[in-house]
Amino acid sequence: MKHAGWVLGAALAVIAAPAWAALSHDSLARDVERAESVRAVKTLQYSYAQYAQYGLWNEMGSLFAAKGVMDAGDDHVAGAKAISAFLTRRLGHGRQGLGKGEVHTALIASPVVNLSVDGKSAKARWDAMFLNADGKGGADLEGGIFENDYVREGGVWKIAHLHFYPQYRGPYETGWTNVDGKDLPIVPYHYDGDTAGLPIPPAAGDPPKAKATLAQLEERIRVLNDEDQVRNLQAAYNYYVDRRMWDDVTDLFAADGVVEVAGVGVYKGPTGVRKAMERMGPAGLKTGQLNDHLLFDNIAQILPGGREARMRGYEMAMVGAADSGEEHWEVTVIDNRMVKEGGVWKVREMRLFPLLRSDYHEGWGKSRLPEPQPPAALAPDRPTPAADRGSQDTVIPAFRAPNPVTKLKVQLPPGKKFVALADLTGAIPAAPTSAPAKGDERLTEDARKLAVSTAYDASENLNSAYGHLIDDFKWTDMAKLFGKHGAKEVPFAGYYAGYDRIAQSVFLEYGDTQTTGRAGIAFHWLIQPVIMVAPDGRSANGHSYLFHPDTAKAPGSADIFGAMYPAQQFVLEDGVWRIWNLSLDEPYFTMPGGWAGGWSSKPKPRGPAAPPPASLAPRPGAPVRYIGAALVAKFEPDVRITALGVREEHYRGGTGETWEWPQILPMWWNYRNPVSGRTPENFLPDCLPCDLKPELSMTKFGYLLPPTGP
């Protein structure tokens, strides 16, 4: 299934010549290295999280430069060896690995990575949350912000300064509060509204003589492009699982695909994949059913030959049913093997190793529920391989990739064993080679393909930066993230277009910039992006999950809700990436009774809603609370939320009936199934308000709509 955005031909002729139109072999080599550097920084930080999950303290320490520094709250440690010793002593109680019942899961997300002009150092900001258990029944949570420095030493990227700013912590039973119960200062930023969209700044001076051949550079560019597609494939899987869209999940697998669920067995082929998924329940969500599986710390590894890839990461699941009061946490390691067939990446092997499954009310310190065994109708095709058997406390899914700094195999802690060492399916042959283009056309095509992957990282930067900046009410910088004609939805009010109007709308709605301490923060983690880039590398679509933990000073104020950013658009404007359009959809679930009750609790009582002004009322008879009415009365949007019709009718304050959790909001999508091209029920190929106001569409300004499917 093709989309108009894929068509290059005459369409490219009507837009300005892109920056990649004239390159030399030497400048291409420099640009490839700089693009790889941004990926290397992310791999470093995700490796840190994956090693932390299993208490691999020495592996974590080895990721630091020889003179690297760790600052975490009041702790300051200098030197890679000293950091290893500190982690082993403080977190490992003098040993490598975790003890029975211990948990140290690190959720690190929302990266904003900026490379230095000389390409020898980088800075990055991250959101972080840690789930901890001491193995004796105690459990707690801690969260905050990383603002880190990275350095390239001897051609290898390392952590130069890891600086963690704790924001909230607390025991599981009562939930977290602000650190020390105090107001929270704004964590210093390494970027602003103009530099977030410039992860790779223009290089200075002439490029050095390239050491790599053009063929070698082309292989490295192909790896970058394939990483993007593999990440999209994995993120799409998790979204489909969230909604129990089993037809779409099955579409993502190769015909000979398999699913292994540790402790349950192995499922084979399309029928088996479907049965493995239906262990979670039948297709579709009913009122009050939550099945959110959030993807974290995933690392893509493209193997030589061009047709095989690995994806290792983990998902934190929040699962339950409000009518029964059932709710539990899950943390599962994902170890996937992908295959490229007919130019499309598919899942060949999916291996799921549960790390914990815990009752919500008891928490992961006291509750370790066994993986439920399926009924006979959903039984696996064969048992778990003998080599993969073992308790959650003794097995570690093998790290296929070496340590990114030492380049050595990850060391196994005493008393543990690696599993998933042998593939479940046969060998994957290498892709046949094709003759490249000749002369300048070849360099131009290579640069275009590289631009597609740099666009992916720039879009992720903007995605994350938006969340960070609105957390801190930094409205001026947030508005600068948008393009000259970019549009932002203000919840329940409408769309405002252009930097000045966006800034004014949020100032009026939420108040002035906060530069001092804050009593509470509503964090916006925009995670698990599916980013589809136009073939000219000048525009992109995004689809992201909003993970929304909130903190305050008062005990019992911890809270989480989930939402969706279903239709983001990004463009390259005057050499800097900007947001073109941003839409949100909320809330998908809440904690109606607060932390004590979780997402399956009864809502707290509240007073009746005031009726909206007659001029702003939705269609007659709809029992709706028009939350954005006050802002609209003060400052008219370019497009009112009430003008969008069915696309917004389920919003709190939209044009139809108010839908509140535990009702299930329909999810909107800006992409088709990345393997089969299946079109979702609620499909948005362009921005939400473009039909009503075409001047908000990227195409009016010469941008291609990014692809929406294979």
Does residue 464 or residue 587 have the better pLDDT? 464
* pLDDT over 60 at 218, yes or no: yes
Q: DSSP label at 48? A: H
- Contact 151/160 with Cβ under 8 angstroms? yes
Angle (CA) 193 197 198, round 5°: 115
Residue 613 above 90 pLDDT? no
Q: Given this model, what pLDDT does residue 614 score?
A: 43
Asked if 259 contacts 352 with a C-beta cutoff of 8 angstroms, the reply is yes
pLDDT of residue 213: 96
Give yes or no for residue 5 having a pLDDT over 80.
no
Q: What is the pLDDT of residues 481-513, one digit of tens each?
A: 999 999 999 987 889 999 999 999 999 988 876
Strands 308-321 and 539-552, bridge-based pairing: unpaired
Q: What residues contact residue 320 under an 8 Å CB cut-off, 6+ apart? A: 289, 290, 326, 327, 328, 360, 598, 599, 600
Section 523-536 average pLDDT? 97
What pLDDT, on the 0 to 100 scale, is given for residue 646?
63
Q: Which pair of structure tokens corresponds to residue 227?
A: 């990483």
- Minimum mean pLDDT range among 222-231, 289-298, 578-587: 578-587
Cβ–Cβ < 8 Å for 152, 37: yes
Q: Where does the pLDDT of residue 295 fall: very low under 50, low under 70, confident under 90, or very high at 90 and above?
A: very high
pLDDT for 12 equals 36
Q: How much is the pLDDT for 491?
A: 84
CB 295 within 8 A of CB 411: no
Name residue 253's amino acid. F
**Structure tokens, 419:** 């599993």
| Amino acid 643: pLDDT | 83
The conformation of residue 618, written as its DSSP 8-state character, comes to -
Task: Answer for the pair 296, 314: CB distance below 8 angstroms, yes or no.
Answer: yes
Question: How high is the pLDDT of residue 543?
Answer: 96
Reported confidence tier of residue 297, pLDDT bands at 50, 70, 90: very high
Query: How many residues would you count in the chain?
Result: 710
Residue 652, pLDDT score: 45
**C-alpha–C-alpha distance, residues 633 and 651, integer Å:** 19
Bridge partners of 109? 127
Q: Which residue stretches of 191-296 are H helix?
A: 214-242, 246-251, 269-278
Question: What's the chain's Rg over C-alpha atoms?
Answer: 25
Q: Which residue has the higher pLDDT, 619 or 438?
A: 438
Instruction: Look at 285 and 440; give whichever has higher pLDDT.
Output: 285
Dihedral sign, Cα of residue 190, residue 191, residue 196, residue 202: negative
Domain ranges of the chain: 26-212, 215-419, 440-701
Residues with Cβ within 8 Å of 432's Cβ and at least 6 positions away in sequence, in order, are: none
Residue 37's contacts (CB-CB under 8 Å, 6 or more residues apart) are 115, 119, 122, 152, 157
Residue 36 zone, left/alpha/beta (φ > 0; ψ -120 to 50; rest)? alpha
Q: Which tens digits make up the pLDDT trace of 127-150?
A: 999 999 999 999 999 999 999 999
Among 463, 454, 591, 585, smallest CA distance to 527 is for 463
CA distance 258 to 250: 10
The domain at 215-419 falls in which architecture? Answer: Roll (3.10)
**How wide is the angle at C-alpha 16 spanned by C-alphas 2 and 565, nearest 5°?**
50
Smallest CA-to-CA distance from 236 within 251, 226, 256, 225 is with 251
pLDDT at 191 over 50: yes
Predicted TM-score (pTM) of this structure: 0.94
Q: What is the pLDDT of residue 604?
A: 60
Given pLDDT bands bounded at 50, 70 and 90, which one contains residue 648?
Answer: low
Average pLDDT taken over every residue of the chain: 90
Confidence of residue 330 (pLDDT cuts 50, 70, 90): very high
**Residue 698 scores a pLDDT above 80:** yes
The answer on pLDDT for 606 being more than 60 is: no
Structure tokens at 523: 């964090």
440-701 under CATH 3.30.465.10, yes or no? no
Query: What is the residue whose two structure tokens read 């893509």?
Result: 300
Find out whether 654 and 618 touch, Cβ atoms under 8 Å: yes
CA 133 to CA 142: how far, in whole Å? 11
**Fold match between domain 26-212 and domain 440-701:** yes
Q: How many CA atoms lie within 13 A of 57 on its CB side?
A: 20
With a cut of 60, say whether residue 196 has pLDDT above it. yes
Is 435 a residue whose pLDDT tops 90?
no
User: Architecture of domain 26-212 in CATH?
Assistant: Roll (3.10)
Structure tokens at 263: 């402790």
What crossing angle do the helices spanning 439-471 and 214-242 adopt, rounded to 10°?
A: 40
Mean pLDDT of the region 144-171: 97
pLDDT at 641: 84
DSSP letter (8 states) at residue 46: H
- The reported pLDDT for the residue numbered 18 is 59
> Which amino acid type is present at position 153?
E
pLDDT over 90, % of the chain: 79
**CB under 8 Å to 684, separation ≥6 — which residues?**
566, 567, 647, 668, 669, 670
**For strand 308-321 and strand 326-341, is the pairing parallel, antiparallel, or unpaired?**
antiparallel
Name residues whose C-beta falls within 8 Å of residue 633's C-beta, 6 or more positions apart in sequence. 613, 616
Q: Give bridge partners of residue 162 from the DSSP assignment.
A: 70
* Whether the predicted pLDDT of 545 surpasses 60: yes
Q: What is the DSSP annotation of 442-478?
A: HHHHHHHHHHHHHHHHHHHHHHHHHHHHHHTT-HHHH
Four-CA torsion 27, 33, 39, 44, nearest 10 degrees:
-150
Average pLDDT over residues 680-698: 90
